[in-house]
Amino acid sequence: MEQKKPTVGFIGTGVMGGPMAGHLLRAGYPLLVYNRTAAKTEPLVGQGAKRADSPAAIAAECDVVITMVGFPDDVEHLYLGDNGLVERAKPGALLIDMTTSSPELAVRIHEAAGRRGIKVLDAPVSGGDIGARNASLSIMVGGDPDAFEEALPILRTMGKTIARMGGPGAGQHTKMSNQIAIASCLLGVCEAIAYAEKAGLDPAQVIATIEHGAAGSWTLSNLGRRILDGNFAPGFYIKHFIKDMRIALRSAKALGLTTPGLELVLRMFEELAERGESESGTQALYKWLVDYIA
């Protein structure tokens, strides 16, 4: 007889969280959802999820709680604030933070949860809105081995590449490596498109040709084509990428590491945000480059 699935709570049902929670529903998990903007939970409620009135209500009822929110301050308040998840979760519950957040904060949450007999994983993801919709995310996990094994069936509904990278905070450190790599890669894609256009080439044909060689990357194939289509809608918001890069820069400095590429791209994105592009997708970096060239 099939074992009863645990009740899962999902907090943060936006561009990424909404599709991720949908995969849990389709996999047969009883699902409670919460979002500060309640309207963003309506598609999931229409598919059979139950809307909760607060994160505390989710913590009281669910065996597993997943969070996918915006910023480290949100994570800290959600987990460690008054009536937070650590305080309100059931003994033995499993809390999985899939927000890209601070490695140091992940360690503090783990320590606080451990004092209450609650399991915690930091499990940020990569793959953008496309990966969230297609359940093909890469999921980088930090935490204890037993908690990871318990979480695996749930994580497999949302991602394809799932790896425990080490203890608490290791998932977030891995995501910082990911974001550092993306920053310079995205700048390279923008420069390659600008070069192809200046040389009188068809940039779409250029992408179709070079994506199968050494220059190939998810960023080139997906965000490069969005640039060519003039599609700067967010699969991943500039404001969130700025947050990620700032965390990565602070973490790198704490490790005694200099990251000049990251610093350069961060300055570009900060300038874009000052020009009103914070709600655009990260591919809008191309706008900065075009203005610079002009």
Q: What is the mean pLDDT of the chain?
A: 96
Q: Are strands 94-97 and 8-11 parallel, antiparallel or unpaired?
A: unpaired
pLDDT bin (cut points 50, 70, 90) of residue 29 is: very high
Q: Residue ranges per domain, the chain?
A: 8-167, 174-293
For the stretch 46-89, pLDDT in tens is 999 999 999 999 999 999 999 999 899 999 999 999 989 999 99
Cα separation values, 201 from 218, 224, 291, Å:
22, 15, 20
Tens of pLDDT, residue by residue over 241-263, are: 999 999 999 999 999 999 999 99
- State which CATH number among 1.10.1040.10, 3.40.50.1000, 3.30.1460.30, 3.40.710.10 fits the domain covering 174-293: 1.10.1040.10
Percent share of the chain, pLDDT over 90: 93
Q: Cβ contacts of residue 193 below 8 Å, gap of 6+?
A: 203, 206, 207, 224, 227, 228, 286
User: In 3D, which of 163, 192, 188, 173 has the Cα closest to residue 244?
Assistant: 173
The dihedral through the CA atoms of 234, 168, 80, 256 has a sign that is negative
Q: How confident is the model at residue 148 (pLDDT cuts 50, 70, 90)?
A: very high
Give the Cα-Cα-Cα angle 271, 276, 281 (nearest 5 degrees).
Answer: 85
Q: What are phi and psi of 166, to 5 degrees?
A: 155, -155
pLDDT number for residue 273: 97
**Percentage helix, strand, coil for the chain under 3-state DSSP, each rounded to 5:** 55, 15, 30
Reply yes or no on whether the pLDDT at 2 is more than 70: no
Q: Are 121 and 162 in contact (CB under 8 A)?
A: no
Q: How confident is the model at residue 294 (pLDDT cuts 50, 70, 90)?
A: low
Instruction: Out of 175, 198, 239, 287, pick the active-site residue.
Output: 175
CATH architecture of 8-167: 3-Layer(aba) Sandwich (3.40)
C-alpha torsion 49→66→147→255, nearest 10: 160
pLDDT value for 293: 75
Domains 8-167 and 174-293 share a fold: no
| Mean pLDDT value of segment 123-140 | 95
> In this model, does residue 93 exceed pLDDT 60?
yes
Is there a catalytic annotation at residue 175? yes
Mean pLDDT across 252-276: 97
Backbone angles phi, psi at 244, to 5 degrees: -65, -45
Give the model confidence (pLDDT) of 279-291 as tens digits: 999 999 999 999 8
